[in-house]
Amino acid sequence: MNNIEKWLGDVRSDEFLQGRFDMHVHTTTSDGLWSPTDIVRLAKERGLSGLAITDHDTLDGLAEAAEAAEKMGVKLIFGVELSTEVTEADEPYEVHMLGYFPGLELPDAPQLLARLREQQQSRRGRGLKMVEKLAELGMPLDTGFLQEYAENGSVGRGLIARKMLEAGYVQTREEVFSKWLGQGCPAYVPHQRLQPMEALRLVQASGGMAVMAHPAQAAHDELVPQLVAAGLNGLECRHPDQPAGALQEHYLQLAASLGLSVTGGSDCHDSGLGDFTTSGAELLKLFKIK
């Protein structure tokens, strides 16, 4: 209990139980507008009890956020949002998996970090492969731009599309995807993405809790019981795509019927911090703190 007190404070107090935690927040470490320090400051200004930093496929912003949170007296939950894909379906679809790690120390997550690095390399490699295919198809692109992006982030199809437009190979962005880079097209190279089950295992192997993010975006509710069978801990029921109303009710009921913890988060990239939250009581349930 001592460690939990150090981390979350007096979890039996009304202040904690009724506290509001925004459990889904992005920073400049992925595609957010604010640095980890600035977003922690903003959380304090908005009167939040705490927040989870959940950048896409990286834990890199967490150390800075932890330092800021300690200074400012904001409770920080270490998190991540993993991009995964269900490829066995008729139409492959994307699922985002949130991972939350208890405690004041950065998660010890060697397997997860190794897999994220591998994924990033394959994403970079994927862009290069598509550029090679385009060259074979008579559309060479200056590859200087790839190096520049490979150093900072991923080389996605959006960037390649822009270069094709600039080179005059196509007239519109739509044409790029319908003729060349869309799934099944001559220059398309498939992703090597995480599967949701693998993401769940990686989070839990690092002592974390796995929560399916914004289930309305995947819109494949049949996946949820399968994830529960694999050990899923929670469902993000409150989210900008699932505002108060019928859809949110639907997910709250689904979570209840499957015995899942409930979370809420704003998915703040540049606005809306604190608009959707998780109560302290819900946080205790998620982390199985008795």
Give contact residues for Zn ion (rule: CB under 5 A): 81, 96, 213, 267
Question: From the CB of residue 290, how many other CB atoms can be counted at a distance below 10 Å?
Answer: 6
CB 96 to Zn ion: min, Å: 4
Q: Smallest Cα–Cα separation from 258: which of 230, 277, 278?
A: 230
Q: Which residue has the tokens 């499957």?
A: 258
Q: Which is nearer to Zn ion, 99 or 134 (CB)?
A: 99
CB 144 to Zn ion: min, Å: 32
Q: Which is nearer to Zn ion, 131 or 213 (CB)?
A: 213
Q: Smallest Cα–Cα separation from 100: which of 1, 195, 7, 5?
A: 7
CB 26 to Zn ion: min, Å: 6
CB 30 to Zn ion: min, Å: 8
Q: Which is nearer to Zn ion, 146 or 235 (CB)?
A: 235
Maximum CA pair distance of the chain? 67
Q: Which is nearer to Zn ion, 131 or 286 (CB)?
A: 286
The closest residue (CB) to Zn ion is 96
Number of residues written out for the chain? 290
CB 273 to Zn ion: min, Å: 12
In single-letter form, the type of residue at position 93 comes to: Y
User: SS3 sequence, 112-160?
Assistant: HHHHHHHHHHHHHHHHHHHHHHHHHCCCCCCCHHHHHHHHHCCCCHHHH
Q: Which is nearer to Zn ion, 39 or 141 (CB)?
A: 39
Rounded distance between C-alpha atoms, residue 55 and residue 36, angstroms: 10
